[in-house]
Amino acid sequence: EAGVAQSPRYKIIEKRQSVAFWCNPISGHATLYWYQQILGQGPKLLIQFQNNGVVDDSQLPKDRFSAERLKGVDSTLKIQPAKLEDSAVYLCASSARTGASYKLFFGSGTQLSVL
């Protein structure tokens, strides 16, 4: 089966610019996640969707980050304006079901460098 698709693979922008990342989960997966992975740290959850509804966005910096999943399939994460500390890899993941025993499928990530 096709995996989780993310684009772009790399992005370099200057601070205060805006940027958007795209994710297409595995077909049929209702749950979609965006994680931020700063170099040397584990992934940190930014937002979790169940279909097109938000389940958890408690760690999303809402003054600059936004995410949507309008049709319950693919998703877009936006940063506006970007700060230097936003430099990280942004990972998208999906899961067929919720529950503690179900694994997440991750995309390869988008590496963002803010200069």
Partner 1 sequence: GDSVTQMEGPVTLSEEAFLTINCTYTATGYPSLFWYVQYPGEGLQLLLKATKADDKGSNKGFEATYRKETTSFHLEKGSVQVSDSAVYFCALVRENQKVTFGTGTKLQVIP
> What tokens were used for 73?
């399939």
Residue 39 — φ and ψ, nearest 5°?
Answer: -50, 125
We find the least distance from the C-beta atom of residue 112 to partner 1, in angstroms, to be 16
Residue 52 and residue 70 in contact, taking contact as beta carbons nearer than 8 Å? yes
| Among the residue ranges 19-27, 62-70, 75-83, 87-95, the one whose residues contact partner 1 (CB under 8 A) | 87-95
Q: Is 108 in the site for partner 1 (CB under 8 A)?
A: yes
Q: Is 27 in the site for partner 1 (CB under 8 A)?
A: no
Q: Which of 22, 45, 66, 74 binds partner 1 (CB under 8 A)?
A: 45
We find the least distance from the C-beta atom of residue 115 to partner 1, in angstroms, to be 23
**Terminal Cα-to-Cα distance of the chain (whole angstroms):** 37
> What tokens were used for 29?
């997966």
Give, in order, the Cα–Cα distances in Å from 112 to each of 7, 48, 56, 76.
Answer: 11, 20, 23, 15
Q: Is 53 in the site for partner 1 (CB under 8 A)?
A: no
Residues near partner 1, by CB under 8 A = 3-4, 31, 40-45, 48, 55-56, 91, 93, 95, 98-109
